Structure 1
Amino acid sequence: MVALISKTELKDLAIAAGDELEGASALEILTWTDEHFGSSWAVASSMADAVVPSLAAKVRPGVDILFLDTGYHFAETLGTRDAIAATLPVTIRTLKPAQTVDEQDVSFGKRLYERNPDQCCALRKVMPLRKALKDYDAWVSGLRRDEAASRATVKVVDWDDGRGMVKINPIAAWTQDDVDRYIAENGVLVNPLLSDGYGSVGCGPCTRRIAPGEDARAGRWAGSSKVECGIH
């Protein structure tokens, strides 16, 4: 179906679905995704947990899960990726930047993440994901409205204008309690860092533990005005 309609029609479809599917369950949203895009959709996962990969696998066993291996990840994050690959019926695609960390250090200087975190994220996250998403017509993320003020208006289905494709956020309306309940009821894998003081898991050099009462994402790029990596 997707191959037969224009980008304008696809955008209209996404915008309409964003309204029509508001209030639908995550599985209903992903079922809509599979009905419209077949095998041409994938899930982007930071490996903080396996909630969205687990939901996606119920709709399409073997679904592609895209993981951005920046070269700066905690060992626990890589371990979570490997455990998900071993226990869920999914296909993990590990995406790597054009340059290794050492090669980037030569080109841009060491600790680029300190001097220009936006550029570092662009090189190690945004560009590799953009390249990989060219293989699909739609992509799925685990964005939730309650995570941060910058995500408060996230729709369950939207148009990714920068990439010219449909973006699905099946758990956008979930709260942390909803996530915790799904994890407990389904035995979902969780990155152990979330039980060690981290509210959100990103690259090692740019992620710290959070203090009681802090926003879950307060430990990301702490001390700077940066709140998103640029993927979303």
Structure 2
Amino acid sequence: MGDRLTYDNWDEHDHERLNNTLTDFMDVIKWAFQEYQDKIVYACSFGAEGMVLLDLISKVNPQATIVFLDTGLHFKETYALIDKVKQHYPKLHIKMAEPVLTVEQQAAEYGDKLWERHPNLCCHMRKIEPLQQELASADAWLSGLRREQSVSRQNTAYINQDDKFKRIKICPLIHWTWDDVWRYINLNNLPYNTLHDNHYPSIGCEMCTLPVKNETDIRSGRWANFAKQECGLHQT
């Protein structure tokens, strides 16, 4: 597809027209796989939004490529969920993308518990670099971002020019609320991370995620002791 929309041929007017044309999340997903075919991946964290988007994607492309950024520091509940997902969607290609350094190698080179001293560097090595590697052979990637999640995500569009990874980033769930997400999970009896039942609305690495007391700020449990709300995947 020579006329495929890419980061390099992005046009603001075409982008605005496209985002105004795609008014339904399923239309966005269908367009994404028609446009990019095997040149698109879904970077899934297996949170609540992730389970919704996984299910929707499976209805459009049952053999889609799903990438999980396996930092080696996730909760045991997250790994248990991934095993369930592999059974629930046996045709999906779920790839565990690992950093160059193991946790032990990172400690030997940068010191123990880097996430406590320099969380941005830890996130860069264990999440951003692996995704860069996975996107090297792709033109676009899917994300479960929702505008309601945080102030920094309020202007997210369906189709975005991602300056971080120099790719097209597609976010079908931008208009979904937290209640919408859980209504879909419950109605469709989807598997989900059991940590959600214990006040963990947003789940990342175990060392950097705490339960949330204020339900109106679902990301307040992430990097709670730092002036940090994003791992860097969704910053330009």
Confirm or deny a common fold (TM above 0.5): yes
Q: State the aligned residue count.
A: 230
Counterpart in 2 of 1:44? 43
Q: Which residue of 2 aligns with 1:148?
A: 150
Is residue 18–residue 158 contact of structure 1 (8 Å, CA) maintained in 2? no
| Residue 5 of structure 1, CA deviation | 7.0
Residue 19 (structure 1) shift: 3.4
Match of 1:69 in 2: 70
1:11-160 aligned at under 5 Å gives the runs 12=12, 14-21=15-22, 24-49=23-48, 50-88=51-89, 89-160=91-162
Q: Could you tell me whether the CA contact under 8 Å between 2:7 and 2:161 is conserved in 1?
A: no
Residue number in structure 2 paired with 1:9: 9
> Secondary structure of 1:65's partner?
strand
Instruction: Indicate the larger mover: 140-149 or 4-13.
Output: 4-13
Change (3 A) 1:217 1:5: closer
Q: Is the 8 A contact 1:26 1:55 kept in 2?
A: no
CA contact (8 A) 2:7 2:168 kept: no
Q: By how many angstroms is 1:25 displaced? A: 2.1
TM-score (normalizing by structure 2): 0.92
> Which consecutive unaligned segments of at least 5 residues does structure 2 have?
none
- 1:148 and 1:100, CA in 2 relative to 1: closer, same or farther beyond 3 A? same
Q: Say whether the 8 Å CA contact 1:2–1:10 is kept in structure 2.
A: no
Question: When the two structures are superposed, what TM-score results if normalisation uses the length of structure 1?
Answer: 0.93
- Partner Cα separation in structure 1 for residue 213 and residue 5 of structure 2: 49
Partner SS, residue 160 of structure 2? strand
Report deviation, 1:40.
1.3
Q: Distance in 2 between matches of 1:135 and 1:78?
A: 26
AA of the residue aligned to 1:179: V
Give the aligned partner of residue 201 of structure 2. 199
Write out per-residue CA displacement over residues 60-94 of structure 1, whole angstroms, 9 at most, x where no aligned residue: 11101100110110000011111111111311010
Question: Hey, what's the Cα distance between the residues in 2 that align with 1:125 and 1:11?
Answer: 29
Which sits farther off after the overlay, 85-94 or 218-227?
Answer: 85-94
Give aligned-pair identity as a percent: 35
Contact 1:69 1:96 survives alignment (8 Å):
yes
- Cα deviation, residue 190, structure 1: 1.0
Does the C-alpha gap of structure 1 residues 205 and 36 become closer, same or farther in structure 2, counting only changes over 3 Å?
same
Which secondary structure state, in structure 1, belongs to the residue aligned with residue 161 of structure 2? strand
Contact 2:6 2:168 in 1 (8 A): no
Instruction: Compute the RMSD of aligned alpha carbons.
Output: 1.7
